[in-house]
Amino acid sequence: MRRIPLLDGWRAVAIALVLVHHVVQGFYSSQDTYAADITRYGAFGVDIFFGLSGLLITRLLLEEWKSAGGFHLQQFYVRRAFRILPPVFVFLAVYTTAGLSKSTTEVVSSLLFFRNYVPSRLTGFGTGHLWSLAVEEHFYLIWPGLLALLGPRRSRHTAAWLALGFGVWRMIESQLATPLFPEVPAHFRTDLRLDALLWGCLVAFLLDGAKEREHFARQTRLPYWLGAVALAILCVRYYSPATSIGVALLIPVILAGTLVHPHWWISQALSWGPLAWLGRISYSLYLWQELFLTPGWEPASQWWRHWPWNLLVSLAAAIVSYYLVEKPLIRVGRRLAAGLAKDLPAGVDLQKQYSGDQAQAGRHQEGHVPAVSSSGVSDHGRRHRAADIAEHVHDGGN
């Protein structure tokens, strides 16, 4: 199954940020003392996951629209279900069986993906990270259907206005005397985080077509791209409801910049084999690390919750989950989805589309990213092209 190592590399960066954030928390006895540590910014690894999801889900749907004249939403949801649900169900089964759950509400909300709206007093630390999966699931329930209803042309403007609207709402809500959900952390809520995915959707539209990709490549030449990175870092450093809009907007632009410039050294580094492997197991690793990487203000007597064993056990659990649960069930979902419509038209291979075809072009020019059709792809490849692209969408956050 063809993958894009560059995207897996970005997932590795995202999960590494989250791991550093959680590991260092274990050395502090209170949240107040940890608040001054620079590793707290590792929490923004979640925003990278969100940017990837919005960008790639939309890209998948746009390619299917062009090749089939519509969306196979049933297939999409079958693949998503078998991609996301089995690993998290196994995690929750272990978590509950071990007697770590704090309440029935915690378990039910995690299973049904409304964990991000449950008061903290009813939940334990071990499922705190599932807020991001809830945000992603809400996005999956809303955006594909909206795109199918409005069509690509109107959806492009809709994505921009919605993203801006959610960002503005976050600024307004931060000024309310009493938040709408006072017992829920603000950064957990879908209505305050959905723009992080929607800006990725908009960037996908900016890459939809050869002329659009060439224009985007020119606008993200290395000096401009480095400027975007620097601006994103400043927005994170001086984070506020206002600068949060900049973070949500800039991350998908940064991600897409490396896709349309695969010859950059940073793009090559992100495609490095070990880094790409870490990105492939990042969903399982994200799920399981919370069980072992407990903060110092959550006393834990078990040896496997103390450094360095907590990190090693997290990696071991993720590897088992990835190879015994995640990968086999992804294949099952792909087969079931293919059986729903065996004549699913081909999409466009993202790796070729973004990297360009040097043999066809004769020479590589910076900023020129020609589209490549799927001619010559086998029937088997045609049926599974959409699944190939969808597999690159990571379903995890902080």
Q: What is the pLDDT of residue 392?
A: 52
How far is the C-alpha of 164 from the C-alpha of 240, rounded, in Å?
15
In the predicted model, what is the mean pLDDT of the chain? 87
CA atoms within 13 A on the CB side of 92: 22
**Burial call 319-346: b when 16+ CB within 10 Å, e when fewer:** eebbeebbeebbeebbeebbeeeeebbb
How far is the C-alpha of 115 from the C-alpha of 324, rounded, in Å?
26
* Neighbour tally for 233: CB within 10 Å: 14
Residues 53, 395 contacting (CB under 8 angstroms):
yes
Residues 253, 220 contacting (CB under 8 angstroms):
yes
Q: Report the candidate in 110, 126, 131 with the shortest Cα–Cα distance to residue 398.
A: 131
How far is the C-alpha of 168 from the C-alpha of 216, rounded, in Å?
26
Q: How many domains does the chain have?
A: 1
Checking if the pLDDT of 132 tops 80, the result is: yes
Query: 341 falls in which pLDDT band (50, 70, 90)?
Result: low
Q: Report the candidate in 124, 144, 130 with the shortest Cα–Cα distance to residue 84.
A: 130
DSSP letter assigned to residue 39: G
Tell which phi-psi region holds residue 204, choosing left (phi > 0), alpha (psi between -120 and 50) or beta: alpha
* Neighbour tally for 299: CB within 10 Å: 9
Let me know how long the chain is: 398
Evaluate whether residue 156 is within a structural domain: yes
Question: Can you give the residue range of the structural domain that contains 15?
Answer: 5-390
pLDDT digits (tens, 9 = 90+) for 197-218: 999 999 999 999 899 999 999 9
Out of 38-47, 186-195, 307-316, 337-346, which region has the weakest mean confidence (pLDDT)?
337-346
Query: 347 falls in which pLDDT band (50, 70, 90)?
Result: very low
Evaluate whether residue 396 is within a structural domain: no
Evaluate whether residue 20 is within a structural domain: yes
DSSP letter assigned to residue 211: H
Query: 373 falls in which pLDDT band (50, 70, 90)?
Result: very low
Query: In what helix (H) or strand (E) does residue 22 lie, and over which residues does it extend?
Result: helix 5-25
Evaluate whether residue 397 is within a structural domain: no
Query: 385 falls in which pLDDT band (50, 70, 90)?
Result: very low
How far is the C-alpha of 353 from the C-alpha of 267, rounded, in Å?
15
pLDDT digits (tens, 9 = 90+) for 51-71: 999 999 999 899 888 887 777
* Neighbour tally for 3: CB within 10 Å: 15
How far is the C-alpha of 75 from the C-alpha of 71, rounded, in Å?
9
Crossing angle (nearest 10°) for helices 5-25 and 309-321: 140
Q: Report the candidate in 347, 339, 336 with the shortest Cα–Cα distance to residue 86.
A: 336
Alpha helices in 100-189 (DSSP H): 104-111, 131-173
Evaluate whether residue 398 is within a structural domain: no
How far is the C-alpha of 149 from the C-alpha of 157, rounded, in Å?
14
Checking if the pLDDT of 365 tops 90, the result is: no
Checking if the pLDDT of 398 tops 70, the result is: no
Measured CA distances, 193 to 46, 98, 122, 138, 196 (Å): 11, 32, 22, 11, 6
Query: 366 falls in which pLDDT band (50, 70, 90)?
Result: very low
Residues 260, 213 contacting (CB under 8 angstroms):
yes
Mean pLDDT of 81-94: 97
Q: What is the pLDDT of residue 387?
A: 43
Q: Which long-range CB contacts under 8 A does 338-342 form with residues at least 24 apart? A: 338/75, 338/383, 338/384, 338/387, 340/72, 340/74, 340/75, 340/78, 341/72, 341/75, 342/383
DSSP letter assigned to residue 324: I
Residues 76, 62 contacting (CB under 8 angstroms):
no
Evaluate whether residue 66 is within a structural domain: yes
Residues 152, 144 contacting (CB under 8 angstroms):
no
